[in-house]
Amino acid sequence: MGKGIWVYAEHKDGKIKKVTYEMLGVARQLADQLAEEVAAVIIGKEVGELASALGEYGADKVYVLENDALAEYTTDGYTRALARLALEHQPTAIFLGCTVQGRDLAAQVAQRLQAGLCTDCTKVELQDGQITLTRPIYAGKAFVQAISPEARPVMATIRPNVLPVPQPQGGRAAEVVQVDVEPGDIRQVIKEVVRQVSTRPELTEADIIVSGGRGMKSAENFRILEELADVLGAAVGASRAAVDAGYAPHSMQVGQTGKTVSPQLYIACGISGAIQHLAGMGSSKVIVAINKDPEANIFKVADYGIVGDLFEVVPLLTREFRKL
Ligand code: FAD
């Protein structure tokens, strides 16, 4: 029996993030092939009750690291906690979501463990007995496969919304292991934590995204995208040009220097389709582009294109979807 395929169970506001389930699915497949166990690691305050769901999605074991001082994510506190646990148990692999938190934590933990790190992976499989990681390069124009024949653990961050969520097996329980967190491990957030409250899904986890570009012409005009998004249960995104012009906050930016998204449906409104934007949304399952320029680059990647004025098309779509 090997030392386990680990998944860092990211959570927010009392809920496990979807990417955690996606990683558990692939961890389960690898573990079955390698005759290893799947362990999830959850860190925070009063997070023990979230552990049961992780068993249903494939974890055999859940390490729970609970402490009041770990209520909020801190790079130092979480790195020390996860790295110490990994040094003690020497897992075969550790997967984290390619989220803001996962990217930060993975880099720090990899450094502490003297392991490599393959980021933003879209596929994980076993090839010739090696855990093989696939990640896009050159803004999604090509893919590279990486293996780590010797260094352990194999560490990777996994792009959210790409791997399937496994079917939960009701009643499947994981062994819950409470891990003592030594006070010396803890760094506390002493500043205020400001949360953005939104009823819309988070951009990186949304199944549908309505995104606006420079063609929106003002921050106020984003209202029509929000109306369409609310009818569809979608998140709202933006191009960098829209963000730079002050139409939308940076947290909504999709692309090379923004967020990477992989929704089922991406509706690009007034976005030309620059390579840096495509880098962030090119792996969307279905792309719909609304642009008044029939030559716009976005139409080259779109599954459905609407050549027209977005200020006419978007409200029309909202009205029609409302009827459904
Ligand atoms: P534009 O290219 O100006 O396109 C606006 C589009 O709106 C046009 O196609 C136009 O025909 C259409 N339009 C105008 N009015 C209407 C209307 N009424 N109805 C319908 N269509 C209309 N960009 C990103 O998006 N994300 C990134 O993360 C990012 N990172 C970058 C990193 C680097 C290092 C660099 C150099 C650039 C980066 N960019 C990024 C910028 C990128 O190169 C483009 O400048 C940007 O994506 C363009 O945004 P846009 O498509 O909204 O604007």
Q: What is the pLDDT of residue 138?
A: 84
pLDDT at 151 over 90: no
User: pLDDT-based confidence at 183, cuts 50/70/90?
Assistant: low
Neighbours of 230 (CB within 10 A): 15
Provide the b/e sequence for 189-222 (b: ≥16 CB within 10 Å).
eeeeeeeeeeeebbbbbbbbbbbbbbbbbeeebb
Q: What is the pLDDT of residue 297?
A: 97
Q: For residue 167, what is the DSSP state?
A: P
Of 221 and 184, the structure prediction assigns the larger pLDDT to 221
Read off the tokens for 95.
């997967």
Stretch (H or E) spanning 242? helix 240-244
- 8 Å CB contact between 13 and 114: no
Read off the tokens for 6.
């680990």
Of the chain, the percentage scoring pLDDT greater than 90 comes to: 81
pLDDT at 314 over 70: yes
Question: Edge to edge, what strands does the sheet with 142-147 contain?
Answer: 123-127, 130-137, 142-147
- 8 Å CB contact between 270 and 290: yes
User: pLDDT-based confidence at 105, cuts 50/70/90?
Assistant: very high
- Distance of CA 293 from the midpoint of ligand 1 (Å): 13
pLDDT at 200 over 60: yes
Looking at ligand 1, which residue's alpha carbon is closest to its atom 25? 239
Q: Is the CB of 270 under 6 A from ligand 1?
A: yes
User: pLDDT-based confidence at 52, cuts 50/70/90?
Assistant: confident
Task: Compute the chain's Rg from CA coordinates.
Answer: 21
- Distance of CA 212 from the midpoint of ligand 1 (Å): 9
Q: Give the pLDDT confidence of 212-264 residue by residue, as tens digits.
A: 999 999 999 999 999 999 999 999 999 999 999 999 999 999 999 999 999 99
Picking from 133, 159, 136, 130, the residue whose alpha carbon sits closest to that of residue 145 is 133
Q: What is the pLDDT of residue 189?
A: 66
- Distances in Å between the alpha carbon of 199 and those of 48, 98, 226, 234? 26, 23, 11, 10
Question: Edge to edge, what strands does the sheet with 286-291 contain?
Answer: 235-238, 208-212, 265-269, 286-291, 304-307
- 8 Å CB contact between 18 and 10: no
Ligand 1 atom with least separation from CA of 242: 52
> How would DSSP label each residue in 30-85?
HHHHHT--EEEEEEESS-GGGHHHHHHTT-SEEEEEE-GGGSS--HHHHHHHHHHH
Which ipTM value was assigned to this complex? 0.99
| 233 annotated among ligand-binding-site residues | no
Q: Is the CB of 218 under 6 A from ligand 1?
A: no
User: pLDDT-based confidence at 2, cuts 50/70/90?
Assistant: low
- Distances in Å between the alpha carbon of 242 and those of 212, 248, 277, 320? 7, 6, 12, 26
Picking from 207, 218, 318, the residue whose alpha carbon sits closest to that of residue 265 is 207
- Distance of CA 215 from the midpoint of ligand 1 (Å): 8
Picking from 192, 174, 199, the residue whose alpha carbon sits closest to that of residue 57 is 174
CA 278/CA 272 separation, integer angstroms: 10
Q: What is the pLDDT of residue 181?
A: 85
Ligand 1 atom with least separation from CA of 258: 28
CB within 8 Å of 60: residues ≥ 6 apart: 31, 37, 38, 39, 174, 175
Picking from 216, 211, 225, the residue whose alpha carbon sits closest to that of residue 254 is 211
CA 23/CA 95 separation, integer angstroms: 7
pLDDT at 1 over 60: no
User: pLDDT-based confidence at 149, cuts 50/70/90?
Assistant: confident
| 198 annotated among ligand-binding-site residues | no
Q: Give the pLDDT confidence of 277-295 residue by residue, as tens digits.
A: 999 999 899 999 999 999 9
Q: Is the CB of 91 under 6 A from ligand 1?
A: no
| First-residue to last-residue Cα distance in the chain | 53
| 262 annotated among ligand-binding-site residues | no
CA 126/CA 52 separation, integer angstroms: 28
Of the listed ranges 37-41, 126-130, 228-232, the least confidently predicted one is 126-130
User: pLDDT-based confidence at 185, cuts 50/70/90?
Assistant: low
| 271 annotated among ligand-binding-site residues | yes
Q: Give the pLDDT confidence of 107-123 residue by residue, as tens digits.
A: 999 999 999 999 999 99
The arithmetic mean of pLDDT across residues 52-81, rounded, is 92
